[in-house]
């Protein structure tokens, strides 16, 4: 990275008030293992990412998920990937504990305002059972409830084509998990039910608040040897309230069309999500693949998936990944609905047992633009194009 | 009697041809558990399923100086990978990693006083208060 890039990155950091204050407070912290592993009843721990991304396109700003109102424009930006999370856990006895976790990241409010992402009581009546009640991370597919914990995965960020379109962070409700050995491996099942609220940005001019009266679902898992498999189902009943008016000018017919069609597409009362996931980690290899399909009661369909392969050599893990998202909505002509695919090539370097440096290059081919881009130009709106992103990140846990 | 136990265990260890570098997984001698499979040990230490063969909730304990060797022998992973794995579980409220002990003496103390404790020591340092339920070869 050039000096000027660091300067731009550093300047962007200044706006991240919450993060810097918290990071300064963390400097004297010892290795995380000692902080959160001590046998005291009350433990504090946290995670974070300092990330900068370079976008080569002046036609479209990159976001890492649907909730971000502004993106990373041409040049360097620390907005979309940087975050900080902190957790407090109180162990009452062998059967009960309480956990609360907050996160500060750039999201729908347009700033890094911290949010309470988890707050629950857990009850473990027997080794086979676990029950939790409170605010719980949405666990509708593999890694969905830990996608902000950069230190936990090889990539600089989870594949945006697959995770960026997820509209829910957490539910308020209960879940139950049952585990038992099966054959040579371990099987477990989880059921969850609750309610939630979600804020998404659909175009520069159109935001939606989705009130989810009921969300329920579950998943079945099987792990044996180096393999893990999951099949999941989630259903939600919701009401969408839009805000914002079209301001793109009547001459940009594509932007106007997108605005109207996307608005129409997000008027639905219920959505079902099906997901398949697989992890294979024999020794040095780290292979993952997932496939999702969401379907609304208005016959809108969002498909996505990715496959990733990494190989660990000492502290270095190079990886390659391919991801894709494609949509179809009634009312949007075939082939005109949002669709894109991404090739990613990256490297994770484990500096210490609580610190990883990462770099990643993404080549995004946007077949039909929409949903995951901001401040788009008129040329782009008519046909999309290619975008190259170069990112650097520092992930840590404490 | 303890002296005889010690001799018997030493004889057994020698008989089975243990190298000095082997890691012995140990429990409380009075909990009725004779042996543990490697997949049981993996499920317990990786927080997947913490049930001992006698039905009790297992209390896994890491011996910090031996930790890197232990996880290499158990799951063929580096400590960074193990921490990465636990980061995912801890920050999605799925549980907590094993308790950490800084010395073999601390392990012995915990194992002797807790029937559900499961830990590991260098096979050459097994003492009569503990029962060896699994040996991991490096």
For position B7, what pLDDT does the model report? 52
Q: Each residue of B63-86: pLDDT tens digit?
A: 999 999 999 999 989 999 999 999
Q: Is a pLDDT exceeding 70 seen at residue B52?
A: yes
User: Is A141 touching B (CB cutoff 8 A)?
Assistant: no
Give the C-alpha distances (Å, rounded to integers) separating A130 from A117, A126, A134, B97, B111. Answer: 20, 8, 14, 16, 25
User: Is A38 touching B (CB cutoff 8 A)?
Assistant: yes
- Those of residues 285-314 in A touching chain B at CB distance below 8 A are 312
Helix or strand holding residue A378 (H, E): helix A378-383
C-beta of residue A380 within 8 angstroms of C-beta of residue A59: yes
For position A355, what pLDDT does the model report? 96
Give the C-alpha distances (Å, rounded to integers) separating B100 from A166, B30, B42, B95. Answer: 37, 23, 17, 15
Token pair 């799951």 is found at: B75
Residue of B nearest to A179 (CA): B49
- Those of residues 237-276 in A touching chain B at CB distance below 8 A are none
- Those of residues 32-61 in B touching chain A at CB distance below 8 A are 39, 43, 48-51, 55-58
In this prediction, residues B17-44 reach a mean pLDDT of: 86
In percent, the amount of chain B with pLDDT more than 70 equals 86
Q: How far apart are CA B26 and CA A36, in angstroms?
A: 24
Number of domains in chain B: 1
Q: Is a pLDDT exceeding 60 seen at residue B1?
A: no
Q: What is the pLDDT along chain A (398 residues), one digit of tens a residue?
A: 344 444 444 444 444 444 444 444 444 444 444 444 445 689 999 999 999 999 999 999 999 999 999 999 999 999 999 999 999 999 999 899 999 999 999 999 999 999 999 999 999 999 999 999 999 999 999 999 999 999 999 999 999 999 999 878 999 999 999 999 999 899 999 999 999 999 999 888 889 999 999 999 999 999 998 999 999 999 999 999 998 877 777 777 777 777 877 788 888 899 999 999 999 998 899 999 999 999 999 899 999 999 999 999 999 999 999 999 999 988 788 778 889 999 999 999 999 989 999 999 999 999 988 889 999 888 887 778 899 999 999 999 99
For position A329, what pLDDT does the model report? 86
Give the start-to-end residue ranges of the domains of chain A.
57-75+139-397
Contacts of A124 in chain B (CB under 8 A): 57
In this prediction, residues B34-59 reach a mean pLDDT of: 93
Q: Which class is domain A57-75+139-397?
A: mainly beta
For position A31, what pLDDT does the model report? 42
How many beta-carbon pairs below 8 A join chains A and B? 99
For position B9, what pLDDT does the model report? 54
Q: Where are the beta strands (DSSP E) in A73-156?
A: 75-77, 83-91, 96-105, 115-126, 129-137
For position B4, what pLDDT does the model report? 54
For position A314, what pLDDT does the model report? 92
Predicted-complex ipTM score: 0.88
* Dihedral angle sign, alpha carbons of residues A65, A70, A74, A75: negative
Give the helix ranges, DSSP H, for A95-210. 160-163
- Domain hosting B124: range is 2-136
């Amino acid at each position: 990275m050039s000096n000027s890039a660091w300067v731009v990155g550093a300047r962007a950091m200044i706006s991240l008030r919450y993060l810097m204050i918290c990071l300064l407070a963390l400097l004297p912290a010892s290795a995380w293992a000692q902080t959160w592993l001590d046998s005291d009843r009350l433990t504090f721990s946290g995670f974070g990412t300092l990330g900068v991304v370079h976008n080569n396109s002046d036609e479209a700003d990159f976001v890492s998920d649907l909730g971000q109102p502004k993106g990373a424009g041409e040049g360097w930006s620390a907005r979309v990937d940087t975050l900080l999370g902190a957790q407090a856990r109180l162990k009452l006895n062998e059967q009960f504990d309480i956990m609360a976790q907050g996160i500060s990241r750039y999201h729908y409010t347009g700033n890094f305002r911290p949010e309470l992402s988890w707050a629950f009581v857990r009850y473990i009546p027997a080794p086979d059972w676990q029950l939790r009640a409170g605010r719980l991370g949405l666990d509708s597919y593999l890694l969905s409830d830990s996608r902000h914990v950069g230190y936990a995965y090889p990539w600089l960020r989870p594949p945006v084509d697959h995770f960026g379109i997820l509209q829910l962070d957490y539910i308020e409700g209960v879940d139950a998990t049952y585990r038992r050995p099966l054959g040579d491996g371990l099987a477990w099942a989880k059921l969850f039910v609750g309610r939630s609220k979600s804020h998404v940005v659909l175009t520069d001019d159109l935001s939606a608040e989705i009130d989810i009266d009921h969300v329920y679902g579950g998943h079945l898992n099987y792990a044996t040897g180096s393999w893990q498999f999951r099949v999941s189902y989630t259903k939600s009943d919701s009401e969408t309230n839009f805000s914002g008016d079209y301001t793109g000018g009547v001459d940009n017919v594509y932007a106007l069309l997108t605005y109207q069609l996307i608005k129409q597409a997000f008027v639905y009362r219920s959505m079902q999500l099906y997901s398949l996931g697989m992890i294979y980690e024999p020794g040095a290899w780290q292979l993952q693949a997932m496939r999702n399909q969401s379907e609304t009661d208005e016959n809108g369909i969002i498909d996505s998936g990715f496959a990733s392969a990494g190989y660990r050599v000492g502290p270095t893990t190079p990886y390659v990944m391919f991801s894709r998202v494609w949509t179809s909505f009634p009312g949007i002509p075939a082939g005109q609905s949002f669709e894109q695919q991404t090739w990613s090539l990256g490297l994770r370097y484990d500096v210490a047992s609580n610190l990883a440096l990462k770099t990643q290059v993404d080549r995004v081919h946007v077949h039909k633009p929409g949903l995951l881009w901001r401040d788009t130009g008129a040329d782009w709106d008519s046909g999309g194009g290619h975008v190259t992103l170069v990112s650097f990140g520092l992930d840590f846990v404490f | 009697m303890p002296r005889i136990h010690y001799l018997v265990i030493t004889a057994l260890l020698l008989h089975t041809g243990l190298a000095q570098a082997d890691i012995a997984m140990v429990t409380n001698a009075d909990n009725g558990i004779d042996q543990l499979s490697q997949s049981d040990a993996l499920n317990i230490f990786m927080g997947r399923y913490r049930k001992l063969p006698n039905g009790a909730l297992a209390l896994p304990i890491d011996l910090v100086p031996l930790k890197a060797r232990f996880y290499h022998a158990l799951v063929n992973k580096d400590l960074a990978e193990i921490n990465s794995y636990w980061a995912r579980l801890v920050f999605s409220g799925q549980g907590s990693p094993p308790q950490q002990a800084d010395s073999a003496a601390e392990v012995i103390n915990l194992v002797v006083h807790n029937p559900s404790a499961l830990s590991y020591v260098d096979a050459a340092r097994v003492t009569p208060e503990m029962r060896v339920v699994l040996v991991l070869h490096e």
